């Protein structure tokens, strides 16, 4: 058998390298400079050489691809007819904490010895081993869940990297109530419900919601990058686009408001098409931020793109960042948490439809849902991640 991968909530590439170097201390080890690939060569003069490759991706090295992979994996294991529903729910929760995947490469079938080495790595990383045609194993080699819904354990304790050990995994009465309200709303729209998604947004999360100043700064930066994306996408000249963006940046004194990814995009005269599309879509995130600041009355169902002209005109009303911020008023925490919980469940429904190649339910626009989820996760301080690193786990 050659098909295997290790999943872990620990994103530390240096730690993984140290584990492999210790495990294979008597063999030749080659590591890429960015630590995303490690090769181990065993054997020598009088022994056949064997190669073991560890191809590594994390939520930081390839965030979009990693998030899509984890979302798909969660959707797959959600739909299996689990015999032990409790273990299934905990496995799904564990999947939502993952930060790293290690693809195993070998020229021959995985031997018993190599299998033992893989389990050692799994235990060291507090991870999971994806084995064969759809089995998830723990570090002891016990079956947690497979494609037929079987489990070889009675229970499973979920642990995660410290970046995940926040209140979102503490189930509280207010979180459960919010979850039930969201599910009732979905049910009325005939949108599939995943009852195993955790109730992670209790009222206790209110203290982690971003401040009015933080949200106003984000809104300005997101608006400017979206405007540039729109200009480039519409075929405006480099000179025209540069003059427009420079004028808006000066008007809002926005030079220091951009994230590293946004700054790189703003500085590029001819950005790539993928970035143009990605930043143009951020108008949807801007719409959420403007709603949170009280400039948009309500968030309608995410079935169509926002009113871009209105979003831009709102900021255009103000001649400075200070004026915009001072005329903004952050919504009550309960409203922001309600919106975040609901979009979390909308996004699962969109991903589930994609995994099973079905039409998106309820007329939802999956792109709009994703961007709203992104903005609301940032607003509610999900995993304390900076804007460039926000994950939309489901």
Q: Same domain, yes or no, for 282 and 376?
A: no
Q: Among the three residues 326, 343, 363, which one is the final residue of a domain in this structure? A: 326
Q: Same domain, yes or no, for 306 and 263?
A: yes
Q: Same domain, yes or no, for 227 and 313?
A: yes
- Would you state the pLDDT for residue 94? 86
- Would you state the pLDDT for residue 250? 93
Residue 231 pLDDT > 70: yes
Residue 126 lies in a domain: yes
- Dihedrals phi, psi of 227, to nearest 5 degrees: -60, -45
Average pLDDT, the chain: 89
Residue 196 pLDDT > 70: no
- Would you state the pLDDT for residue 282? 95
Q: Same domain, yes or no, for 9 and 124?
A: yes
Q: Among the three residues 161, 177, 200, which one is the final residue of a domain in this structure? A: 161
CATH number at residue 121: 3.30.310
Q: Same domain, yes or no, for 272 and 379?
A: no
- Would you state the pLDDT for residue 166? 42
- Would you state the pLDDT for residue 136? 94
Range of the domain at 146: 4-161
Q: Same domain, yes or no, for 320 and 338?
A: no
Inter-residue contact 92 to 200 (CB < 8 Å): no
Q: Same domain, yes or no, for 186 and 148?
A: no
Residue 192 lies in a domain: yes
Q: Same domain, yes or no, for 45 and 106?
A: yes
Token output for 181: 């309200």
Mean pLDDT for 120-149 is 91
| Residue pLDDT, tens place only, 87-106 | 998 888 888 888 899 999 98
**Position 165 confidence tier, pLDDT thresholds 50, 70, 90:** very low
pTM confidence score: 0.63
**Rounded CA gap, 377 and 388, in Å?**
12
- Would you state the pLDDT for residue 46? 59
Inter-residue contact 91 to 3 (CB < 8 Å): no
Q: Using the structure block, give the residue that is written with the tokens 């849902």.
A: 369
Q: Same domain, yes or no, for 293 and 352?
A: no
Residue 228 lies in a domain: yes
Q: Same domain, yes or no, for 131 and 222?
A: no
Residue 47 pLDDT > 70: no
Q: Same domain, yes or no, for 131 and 238?
A: no
| Residue pLDDT, tens place only, 167-182 | 445 667 898 899 999 9
Per cent of the chain over pLDDT 90 is 60
Residue 191 lies in a domain: yes
Residue 394 lies in a domain: no
> For the chain, what is the domain count?
3
Residue 312 lies in a domain: yes
Q: Same domain, yes or no, for 82 and 148?
A: yes
């Amino acid at each position: 058998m050659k098909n295997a991968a290790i999943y872990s909530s620990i994103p530390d590439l240096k730690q993984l390298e140290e584990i492999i170097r210790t495990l294979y201390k008597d063999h030749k080890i080659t590591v890429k400079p960015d630590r995303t690939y490690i090769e181990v060569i065993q054997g020598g003069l009088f022994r056949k050489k064997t190669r073991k490759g560890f191809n590594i991706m994390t939520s930081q090295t390839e965030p979009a691809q990693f998030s899509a992979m984890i979302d798909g994996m969660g959707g797959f294991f959600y739909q299996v007819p689990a015999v032990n529903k409790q273990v299934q729910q905990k496995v799904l929760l564990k999947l939502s904490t993952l930060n790293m995947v290690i693809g195993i490469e070998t020229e021959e079938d995985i031997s018993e010895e190599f299998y033992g080495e893989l389990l050692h790595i799994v235990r060291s990383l507090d991870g999971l081993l994806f084995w064969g045609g759809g089995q998830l194993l723990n570090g002891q080699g016990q079956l947690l869940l497979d494609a037929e819904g079987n489990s070889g354990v009675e229970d499973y304790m979920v642990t995660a990297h410290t970046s995940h050990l926040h209140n979102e995994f503490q189930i509280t009465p207010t979180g459960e109530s919010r979850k039930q309200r969201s599910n009732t709303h979905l049910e009325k729209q005939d949108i599939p419900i995943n009852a195993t998604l955790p109730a992670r947004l209790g009222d206790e999360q209110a203290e982690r919601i971003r401040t009015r100043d933080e949200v106003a700064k984000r809104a300005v930066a997101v608006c400017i990058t979206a405007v540039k994306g729109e200009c480039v996408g519409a075929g405006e000249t480099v000179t025209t686009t540069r003059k427009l963006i420079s004028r808006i940046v000066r008007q809002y004194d926005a030079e220091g408001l951009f994230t590293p990814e946004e700054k790189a995009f703003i500085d590029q005269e001819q950005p790539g098409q993928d970035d143009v599309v990605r930043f143009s879509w951020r108008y949807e995130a801007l719409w959420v931020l403007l709603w949170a600041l009280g400039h948009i009355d309500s968030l309608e169902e995410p079935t169509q793109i926002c009113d871009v002209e209105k979003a831009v005109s709102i900021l255009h009303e103000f001649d400075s960042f200070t004026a915009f911020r001072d005329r903004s008023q952050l919504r009550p925490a309960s409203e922001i948490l309600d919106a975040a919980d609901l979009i979390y469940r909308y996004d699962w429904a969109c991903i589930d439809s994609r995994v099973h190649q079905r039409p998106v339910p309820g007329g939802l626009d999956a792109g709009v849902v994703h961007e709203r989820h992104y903005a609301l996760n940032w607003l509610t301080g999900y995993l304390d991640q900076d804007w460039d690193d926000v994950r939309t786990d489901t």
